[in-house]
Amino acid sequence: MERITLQLGLLVVLIFILVSYIYSLYKSKKLKFNLFFLILIISIFYMLFDGITVLFVNDVIKVSRLTNIIFHALFLLSISSVYKKVAEF
């Protein structure tokens, strides 16, 4: 658990920013989600994914090598696809 404290701390900060942003949109009656909202959602997803990959890398004995490779490949492929989508936006 001490290996993913950075990811958990950043995840808490990102969720706080997300809740504050949604609350401010709700109070101003402008429920329009823009690129900032998209980046917040994606960054929360990647913090979760980063925590999972950190656990997999550090617990090589418990996690099979194939599972580790699959999760890292999915992580890298999703970064590439999100980068292309944001560049189109």
CA–CA separation, 13 vs 19, rounded Å?
10
Q: For residue range 48-61, what is the model confidence (pLDDT) as tens digits? A: 888 887 877 777 67
**CA-based nearest residue to 21, from 49, 43, 46, 50:** 43
Query: ∠57-62-64 over CA atoms, to 5°?
Result: 70
Q: Is the pLDDT of residue 2 over 70?
A: no
User: Which pTM value belongs to this model?
Assistant: 0.69
Using one digit for the tens of pLDDT, what is the confidence trace for 27-51? 887 777 777 888 888 888 888 888 8
Q: Comparing 80 with 1, which gets the higher pLDDT?
A: 80
Coil/strand/helix, residue 68: helix
- pLDDT at residue 17 in the model: 92
- Burial class from Cβ neighbours inside 10 Å (0-12, 13-18, 19+) for residue 47 reads buried
Amino acid 47: pLDDT: 85
